[in-house]
Chains A and B, each alone.
Chain A
């Protein structure tokens, strides 16, 4: 329990949170909010054009519109225009290629990287009223050098989706992704998370900071298993299409993919590996030279509302950082640990984090793909 004094382990209940917020000076909070809002409104009328958002598949008008519907409704002249990123490396490439957006959503392992990159600027917490409802641990994780670079909203796990009628796992383990029995029916994710998973399987102490020898072992392991893989997917709809079509039976996947396959009536299970799943938290980041910073804050605020959170939990089976967002079904909440504030703690998961030697990991992964 909280015996080890680790802040992560400390239970933060909803009641405690509200008490803290009240005690922190309700009046001061209110005053700050009002003046902040007034200034924001003034500034926003000066910002024009559609808000340019770089986000993942399923978070735009291809299914996730409910998440920012409130924003679109309030600023119809600046409706969000969504560009798609398949992962953070892809986002980086798009920036290098000249893409100009106002905000985007990398995940927690990349907060430090982008904060240091000069591409982003910190958020102004005063302009995001819903920030105070967000899980403080996640909020803290989005900070760098004391500034709020990332606003957390969605969170979840990387686990294994498989067809219960076709696949009998030997154990609840990531090793299912490398099971020789299912050659040609397996899909991996196109990201350096694969070497991280290989590291977890090998029991490395810190799979985010593997030594050269460990990284080589992970790489060779992946290369040796690559012949089992039908597709290394970069976009969820790709993978979902293959799953629905019966082309693949086993895949690295996110809870939303489990939700989608269940909705299609497929007999699937979402397996929690005994190595403890890698967990992630999405962090909105604000681009440095955006001409629409206030609109961007408003967009993030809409995403951070309890209403959006509830929609996300009910439909995509993801957790939402807003502690007030409760999913409709308790069974669902339980199975996916949505209501568990310690879900991302080390006892339960391997929360994704910054990789000091990212270039080496990327190189190794490229070599796996080329082999």
Chain B
């Protein structure tokens, strides 16, 4: 689409390069988005904080600022232990799928395959379909008399009345979460591997390094930002997960996010304690993000 540039008429004053621009400057443009976020993002978080210290409460009586709920939270330790359990589960999932995703990204970026973007799309596409439906697929697969177990007993690999307990376990939660996030995690690693300058590898091998050494000392370190980004992209959301655990976790797969939902939706309402748990989770997540943001390059983020 061409833009026509007129020619100057002879005798007319030369137009100045920089015309003064009317109206909208940055603050004007940003006014609306920032106002929206202020009202519907920052204020609600503030309200949660207020509930956690009983400045606001859902009954009609508030008792005024008190750190009692926070004190209980730290003191009793039960919710902290649950938090730690969720962190461990998220850690395992994140590490495993980053390790699995790396070879995938490596193959796409460095093997010289002609259709790398098509294959990348093929890999990513499931991530862009429905989350709940993919969890549903696993609830169907993992039951004691579901397809996997009935297949095992049909082929005689396992006795019929001793099926593998797959669903309602911590394992099921981690498996499904890994399945959900694996496609997405390959992306940042792919981006950083793709931007790798092959000449560095050529130089390394010219200097006598084996492929593996070149990988270890050139490729791996340079792709580390992508790996870090990938890890964080899955680790941070997974700590607060509650949907998957509620569908496949049973009793042992109960996570911190489920506890929060219980205090607000399924169990007897205790908004003060629930708010404490929520603020704690938010604080940890924000801290992790700030600490590791030095490893994140905008490229990884915008590529997804």
Q: Name A's B-contacting residues (CB within 8 A).
A: 86, 89-90, 92-94, 96-97, 184, 190, 192, 226-227, 229-232, 234, 242, 245-247, 358-359, 362-363, 365-367, 369-371
Pick the residue among B144, B259, B265 that contacts A93 (CB under 8 A). Answer: B265
In the docked arrangement, what's the CA distance between A226 and B266, Å?
A: 19
In the docked arrangement, what's the CA distance between A356 and B144, Å?
A: 41
Residues of B within 8 A of A371 (CB): 78, 81-82
A-B contacts, 12 of them at CB < 8 A, read A89-B266, A89-B269, A90-B265, A230-B250, A230-B251, A246-B163, A363-B270, A367-B76, A369-B267, A370-B79, A370-B81, A370-B82
Closest to B83 in A: A370
Do A89 and B168 touch across chains, with their CB atoms under 8 A apart?
no
In the docked arrangement, what's the CA distance between A190 and B250, Å?
A: 12
Q: Name B's A-contacting residues (CB within 8 A).
A: 58, 76, 78-79, 81-82, 143-146, 163, 165, 167-168, 250-252, 254, 259, 262-270, 273
Do A184 and B165 touch across chains, with their CB atoms under 8 A apart?
yes
Closest to A234 in B: B266
In the docked arrangement, what's the CA distance between A326 and B273, Å?
A: 48
Closest to B246 in A: A234
Do A247 and B266 touch across chains, with their CB atoms under 8 A apart?
no
If the complex has contacts A230-B168, A245-B145, A247-B167, are A369 and B254 also in contact, measured as CB distance less than 8 A? yes
If the complex has contacts A190-B267, A358-B268, A366-B263, are A247 and B82 also in contact, measured as CB distance less than 8 A? no
In the docked arrangement, what's the CA distance between A175 and B299, Å?
A: 59
Closest to A184 in B: B165
Shortest Cβ gap from B264 to chain A (Å) = 6
Residues of A within 8 A of B167 (CB): 247
Do A93 and B264 touch across chains, with their CB atoms under 8 A apart?
yes
Most buried by A among B143, B252, B262, B265: B262
In the docked arrangement, what's the CA distance between A164 and B165, Å?
A: 21
Main secondary structure of the interface of B (DSSP, over half): loop
Residues of B within 8 A of A246 (CB): 144-145, 163
Most buried by A among B254, B265, B267: B267
Do B268 and A92 touch across chains, with their CB atoms under 8 A apart?
yes
In the docked arrangement, what's the CA distance between A229 and B169, Å?
A: 11
Pick the residue among A231, A232, A245, A370 that contacts B78 (CB under 8 A). Answer: A370
Residues of A within 8 A of B268 (CB): 89, 92, 192, 358-359, 362, 365-366
Residues of A within 8 A of B270 (CB): 359, 362-363, 366
Pick the residue among A226, A242, A366 that contacts B262 (CB under 8 A). Answer: A366
Closest to B85 in A: A370
Pick the residue among A90, A192, A247, A362 that contacts B144 (CB under 8 A). Answer: A247
Q: Please name the 7 residue pairs, one residue from A and one from B, whose CB atoms are nearest each other, closest first.
A: A362-B268, A89-B268, A247-B144, A370-B82, A229-B251, A231-B250, A245-B145
Do A245 and B143 touch across chains, with their CB atoms under 8 A apart?
yes
Shortest Cβ gap from A325 to chain B (Å) = 33
Residues of A within 8 A of B78 (CB): 367, 370-371
Shortest Cβ gap from B141 to chain A (Å) = 13
Residues of A within 8 A of B273 (CB): 366
Do A365 and B267 touch across chains, with their CB atoms under 8 A apart?
yes
Residues of B within 8 A of A229 (CB): 251
Residues of B within 8 A of A89 (CB): 266-269
In the docked arrangement, what's the CA distance between A121 and B266, Å?
A: 24
Shortest Cβ gap from B102 to chain A (Å) = 35
Most buried by A among B143, B251, B264: B251
In the docked arrangement, what's the CA distance between A292 and B250, Å?
A: 40
Do B266 and A90 touch across chains, with their CB atoms under 8 A apart?
yes
Closest to B144 in A: A247
Do A96 and B58 touch across chains, with their CB atoms under 8 A apart?
yes
